[in-house]
Amino acid sequence: MRAIVQDKYGDADVLRLEEVERPEPGHQQVLIRVRAAGVDPGVWHIMAGQPLGVRPAFGVRRPRQRTRGADIAGIVEAVGPGVTRFVPGDEVFGVASGSFADFALASSEKGLAHKPEGLSFAEAAVIPISGCTALQGLRRGGVAGGARVLVLGASGGVGSFAVQLAKAFGAHVTGVASTGKLDFVRGLGADEVMDYTQQDPVDGTRRFDLILDTGGNRPLRKLRRALAPGGTLVIVGGEGGRGLLGGFERAMLGAPVLSLVTGQKLRGLTAVTSRADLITLTEFVEAGQLRAPLDRTFPLEEAPDAIRYLHAGTVRGKVAITI
């Protein structure tokens, strides 16, 4: 089968299309014929081995898992022993190790669910990681009806889902993006939009019950001043991949420490794609409250270009690889 693989860390040039052996499902594993795979920033971090703090988990000198990709949508080809939720022919979506390939293995008990009705495979493939991250971020921030929610990075992968989900929870949503992406954010359902090139959304003139920072680089001291009394800041990911922790330092170290000192609720988030949350997202999709904001698709052989396109920062929503 075909797969996008790498044998060293680096930019997208280290990726290549190669013929590899098709995997066989083991206990509680599902073999999926991949129809589409989502592209998210995590793919870039593992490809580049940046920040350096990711390498103990994924391989110190080179990626332990050669095939890239995690988000997946496709058709069950075969199931291993102990699988009861899925049968061959089922259309599914979720996460699988090495989804940039013709076939990939997924756990039947964790991040896999039946594909939402009415979505293409490409649309379904961009939901799992970003959708679950947005959902878990809003929950961690205690989103509720009537809450004033600020989404920083509202035009990105996580942000575009967060705007829609916050609205579904009944919040008043302000989405922050650059000038050319404001109409896109409005189209997601944001009550208000702010152009960060024209005004500072966290200058303290407005206060929010929940700020969801989806990979920005604003200092914590600035983010704090835009919180209403009792409000919560949730940081997801981080811009910049260099050094030991890169932009993740704010979420993993800065926010928890400063929260202890100031008494404000400043939280970092490490999301995990779960079957339960995939089912919740499916319910929102099928109720018409959530759509997959698919910007562009690339064929498998152009996976390096898909990652370059995502990393360039011009994407509105999500990017998928189709197979």
What does the domain layout of the chain look like in residue ranges?
2-127+292-322, 130-269
C-alpha distances (whole Å) from 65 to each of 97, 100, 101, 238, 274 are 8, 12, 13, 23, 21
Helix (H) or strand (E) holding 155: none
Say if CB 217 and CB 238 are below 8 A apart.
yes
CA distance 60 to 69: 19
Strand partners for 92:
74, 114
Structure-token match 């679950």, residue found: 132
Task: Give the rounded percent of residues in the chain with a pLDDT score beyond 90.
Answer: 79
pLDDT in tens, 221-251: 889 999 999 999 999 875 555 554 555 666 5
Per CATH, is 130-269 categorized as 3.40.50.720? yes
Confidence of residue 112 (pLDDT cuts 50, 70, 90): very high
pTM value? 0.93
Phi, psi of 190, rounded to the nearest 5 degrees:
-60, 135
Phi, psi of 207, rounded to the nearest 5 degrees:
-120, 145
CATH H-level superfamily of 2-127+292-322: Medium-chain alcohol dehydrogenases, catalytic domain (3.90.180.10)
pLDDT at 249: 61
Pick from 46-55, 102-111, 203-212: least confident: 46-55
Which DSSP symbol is given to 51? S
pLDDT in tens, 116-135: 999 999 999 999 999 999 99
CA distance 80 to 314: 41
Structure tokens at 209: 């019950």
Structure-token match 């509202």, residue found: 154
pLDDT at 257: 56
pLDDT at 58: 82
Structure-token match 């103990």, residue found: 56
* Whether the domain at 2-127+292-322 and the domain at 130-269 fall into the same CATH topology: no
pLDDT at 253: 55
Say if CB 141 and CB 234 are below 8 A apart.
yes
Structure tokens at 36: 């589409």
Pick from 1-10, 128-137, 255-264, 305-314: least confident: 255-264
Calculate mean pLDDT across residues 17-42. Answer: 97
Say if CB 33 and CB 90 are below 8 A apart.
no
Confidence of residue 260 (pLDDT cuts 50, 70, 90): low
Say if CB 115 and CB 91 are below 8 A apart.
yes
Q: Answer yes or no: is pLDDT of 113 > 90.
A: yes
